[in-house]
Structures are given as C-alpha cells and as structure tokens.
A and B are shown apart, each in its own frame.
Chain A
Amino acid sequence: MTTTTGRTTAAPPSTRDALTRPDTRRKLVDRVMRGVVTLAFLVALVPLLSLVWTALVNGFDRLSPYFLAVSMRGVFGGMDAGGIHHAIVGTLLVTGFAALISVPIGLLTAIYLVEYGTGKLARAVTFFVDVMTGIPSIVAGLFAYALFAVFFGPGVRFGAVGAVALSVLMTPVVVRSSEEMLRLVPNELREAAYALGVPKWLTIIKVVLRTAAAGIVTGVMLAVARVIGETAPLLITLGVIDSINYNLFEGRMMTLPVYVYRQYQQGLVPCRPDQLDCIATINYDRAWAAALVLIIIVLLLNLLARLIARWFAPARGH
C-alpha cells in the first residue's frame, strides 16, 4: 500500500521509494540458488553416510578383539573363526614403509621447487609430478614388480616391493601438497631470518618448514589415506597369504584391501545341513568387518593428523 502511494505521488523516485522497493526477482533467485546449493550438499552426503552405515551394519557383528588378534592360518570352509591380524600388520608396515620412502623425497622435491628451483628444471619437475599424479595404480604395481624382478627374478613378491609401488603413487601427492604449504609461508618471514644473519638452509629448516609444519603433516596424512586403500598394485607385488608376516623383505604379505577382495571373491560357503558350525556368509562377514577396520584406521589417521597439526599450529600461547 505504501509503495503504490509513494510511486504515484512523487514524480522523481523518493529516497523511501528507492530504498523500500521490493526486488522480488533477486530474492527469488537467491532463494532458489540457496536451495540448489543445500540440496547438492545433501546429495553429496548421502553416499558417504550410506557407505559408513552399510559398513557398520554389515561389519560390526564380526568385529571383536578375537577378529583383530588372529590371522587366517588354518581357517577353511565355513568355520566360525579367522581374523585380520596379518592384514592389519601388512597394511601398517607396507603403508608406513611407503611413507618412509615418499615423505623425504616428496618434501625435498617441494623444497627444491619453492626455495631453489627456477627455469627449465623446475618446470620439468612440476610437469612430471603432474603426470605421476595421474598414473593408474595398477601401472605403479607393475612397475614396482618389474623393477624388483630385474634383481630378484620373475615372480618376486615381498613387502618392500608393494611399498615401492605405493610410494610411486604417494610421492606426487606429497610434493603437491607440501609445495602449496611452503608457498603459503610469507616471504617476509624468510627475509626476517636472512636479515638476522641466518643462512638459507637454516632459514628453510627452522622458519619455513616450521611455519608450514601443520599443513605439511595434513598433506602427508592425506597422501597416506590416498594409498592405504590400494588393492590392485598390492595384489601384484605382495600376493596373498593367510599367516602373519612381519618381514617387509621376505615373503608375501596380506593387507586389508586385498583381504577384503579375497574374502569377497571366495563368496558363499556351501554348508551341509548337518554342519552346525558352518556359517554360509562367513566370507562376506569377514570382508565387511575388515572394510570397517580399514575405514576406522583412516579415521584414526585423520584424527592423529589433526592433533599433530594443532601441536604445530602457529601463534599458540604455550
């Protein structure tokens, strides 16, 4: 009512008119876009929640201290037995060793790119890092196998081969994320250190790396999460095994993703009706429980990364 009178009485639009005229079109667009964005977020959340829920529902029953403590040694048929101890050991050892290879190489490469690299070589390194990011994991597995086959002959399978395959996948991720973090360190801090008569190498270690530490740790953890679920390259380089192997340099090893794959592959057990201790779906149950454990390990790693990042974070009051 007020707007119509305002519009009809004053020939040039009054201030009140200009300020209160309803812009229905803009408000409508705003509301629609808000809805679209929220909807997209919810849709993106559905598979994630559904995945975690399914893993919980299907895997929780079989998950027990016993399941974590034993291997699959001597387990056959539909026996209500067997666990993933060997696969947890394998996953932690192989992924840890892969990180041990990738983090120094990746971090030093990032330092070279940010602090020293200029011109052609730096551009070439960046290009090849990008190419490496896109390498299919099965190719990395074949590469590691072929590399070790040169020295140990065909059919070579042990933990370190798998770790090398994973590190091929992991290194470019470490380089990329560390590079971003190092570039975020303000140049003023480097200059402040130089002006105090601190040599470049000490400036890099004590100022640049220290300032970027939180981000670098997060990046490394993301890189670990990226490779901890790899299956294909480990199937080639580690093979499968039912018993525990702590030695990265001799003998096959089991990892959680390969375990899940193998259990699922074995499928339903044909139980005879008179077999009381035979569980037909035992393989599926074990696969789901192992998948749940893998998710939990990744979750714990992320929590750990957050804790370490908080520890390193700048500007805390001690």
Chain B
Amino acid sequence: MAQRIDVKDLDVYYGSFKAVADVSMMIEPRSVTALIGPSGCGKSTFLRTLNRMHEVLPGARVEGTVLMDGVDLYGNDVDPVAVRRQIGMVFQRPNPFPTMSIAENVLAGVRLNNRRISKSDAETLVEQSLVGANLWKEVKDRLDRPGSSLSGGQQQRLCIARAIAVKPQVLLMDEPASALDPISTLAIEDLIAELKNDYTIVIVTHNMQQAARVSDRTAFFNIAGTGEPGRLIEMDDTRTMFSTPSVQATEDYISGRFG
C-alpha cells in the first residue's frame, strides 16, 4: 500500500514569487515524516505540492520532480485528480461536508466520483474506515446523523476516515491537531501511530513535542527573511534532530530561541 516519495530540486512559485526553493528529500514508506519550521517558511506549501493541491490556486506552479514509485507526479501525462486519489490529505480545520451524514462523509470519495457501490460494500467500507480512524465505537449507532453533529476531534477523525476510505498510498496532514483540544490531539496522535503501519504519512506541525512524539523523521524548514523563499535546512531521524542537530538554526528553533 504505502509508497516512497522522492523529491528532487523542487521550487514552488506563486506567480513570479518563489515560495519554496530547492527542496530535495526522501520520504520513507510506512513511516511518519514531520515538517517543522516557523510560520511562512513554506512547509504547508511544500506539503500541498506533494498531491498537487497547491494548483487549486491560480498562478501556482513548480519546477523539479516529485517521484512516487519512480513516476514523476508532475509528468505531462499525469492527471492531478488521479494523484490526489493516491495521496490523500487532512486539513487543519476539520471540514466534513455539512450536507452529508457521517456515513455519507466516509463514502464521499466514492459517491462524489459517481462510482457505484453495493449497499453491503458501502457498509463494509464505512465500518473499515471508521474503525481505521478510531471512530467506529463512538459513532456506530448514529451513522445517519450529520457529520457536523460531532465534536471537533471526532470531526477530524471523520475526515481521516474519509481520506483513508479512498485507499490512498500516502496521507498528508496539514497541522491536523492544531484546532483541537489536548485530549482530541492525543487521539489523533495515537491514530497516526497506527496508520503508519499501512500508509506513508507526512505531517506539518507547529507543535515540536508533537513532531517528537509521532514522527520517525523530521525536516526543518526556514526562511531567510520576508520575501525570501523557504528552504529545507536539515532533515534527519527525529531523535537525532531533537538531540544533536547538525545545523545551529535547527537547534535554535527546537530549543525555542526563535519562531
């Protein structure tokens, strides 16, 4: 299921503005990679280039290559819609579809794509995905209630269930717990630890303890100043990054001296 992602010399532009410069990194399968760095350093932008979501904004483009299983995601014959089916995404604020029930939200990836699915298959998929997102026990008796009736933390796990129901190879998470309370955050972090058995996970976080807790490898992004592009400063095993980083800026950021 899970795939390796290999980023080579990636530059990201919004119009003529270069937002991210010269990023190369290897994202290992069945592991959690955390992207940390100060606000505006381009880590979210970089994350969104991994499933071509940044293209939704007019004028956004990239140079360089992003290889998944040896295929360049930015190749001429690659369909961005197909890329997003392989690489799912969870957003900062929980965003279940307000017109849909809990079960319909989980099935959104199927139903919105006009794919037919038998009733029993649908029920199986809903249960599997909700179990996978540690939400099944809490909602199994009210699957036809609106998704917005859940608490924030439950909504976020519903969004994760919705993302894994499409059976992607990779899951991208853009600060998935920053809008949640500590208990819900813990639930999400436990879930991430389980999900990495099946998926390649990339997570952007502002919370360094979170990065230290959940990730196997950590990448530190930084920005030289306003108007400058964000760059990948250093990437290593999380333990090494948080104990003996090789770059001074990383140590300053991690120890809270700036950012």
Other A-B pairs beyond A196-B163, A318-B101, 4, CB < 8 Å? A189-B97, A194-B84, A198-B108, A317-B146
Contact of A192 among B51, B83, B91, B99 (CB under 8 A): B91
Q: Is B98 an interface residue (CB 8 A)?
A: yes
Q: Which residues of A contact B111 (CB under 8 A)?
A: 206
Q: Are B145 and A202 in contact (CB under 8 A)?
A: no
B146 / chain A contacts, CB cutoff of 8 Å: 314-317
Query: In the bound complex, how far is the Cα of B95 from the Cα of A315, in angstroms?
Result: 13
A190 CB–B CB distance under 8 Å? yes
Whether B162 sits at the interface, judged by CB under 8 Å, is yes
Tell me if A194 and B112 are in contact (CB < 8 A): no
Say how far A149's CB is from chain B's closest CB, in angstroms: 44
CB atoms of B81 and A198 under 8 A apart? yes
**A95 interface residue, CB < 8 Å from B?**
no
Complex Cα spacing A184 to B88, Å = 25
Residues of chain B lying within 8 A (CB to CB) of residue A314: 98-99, 146, 148
Chain B interface, >50% SS class: mixed
B207 within 8 A of A: no
Instruction: List B contacts of A199 (CB < 8 A).
Output: 81, 113
Q: Which of A298-318 contact B (CB under 8 A)?
A: 312, 314-318
Q: Which residues of chain B come closer than 8 Å to A207, judged between CB atoms?
A: 97, 112
Residues of chain A at interface, number, CB under 8 A: 26
B145 to chain A minimum Cβ distance, whole angstroms, is 5
Assembly CA distance A266 to B95 (angstroms): 62
Q: Does A183 touch B at the CB level, under 8 Å?
A: no
Bound CA span A207–B166, Å: 17
Query: Residues of A contacting B144 with CB < 8 Å?
Result: 317-318
Determine the distance from Cα of A186 to Cα of B51 in the docked complex, in whole angstroms.
21
Determine the chain B residues whose CB is within 8 A of the CB of A186 once the complex forms.
95
Q: Which of B33-83 contact A (CB under 8 A)?
A: 51, 53, 56, 58, 81-83
Known contacts being A202-B114, A207-B112, is A195 close to B89, with CB within 8 Å? yes
Contact of A211 among B89, B99, B101, B159 (CB under 8 A): B99
* Given contacts A118-B58, A188-B91, A202-B113, A197 and B98 within 8 Å (CB-CB): no
What are 7 pairs between A and B in contact, CB < 8 Å?
Answer: A188-B93, A191-B53, A197-B83, A197-B109, A202-B113, A211-B98, A315-B98
Q: Is A7 an interface residue (CB 8 A)?
A: no
Given A207-B97, A314-B98, A317-B144, do A192 and B149 touch, yes or no (CB 8 Å)? no
Q: Is B85 in contact with A192, judged by CB distance below 8 angstroms?
A: no
Taking CB atoms, residues of chain A closer than 8 Å to B83 are 197
Say yes or no: A198 contacts B112, CB within 8 Å. yes
- Select one of A195, A206, A211 contacting B53, CB under 8 A: A195
Considering only CB atoms, which chain B residue lies closest to A316 in the complex? B146
For B149, what are the chain A residues with a Cβ–Cβ distance below 8 Å?
A: 315, 317
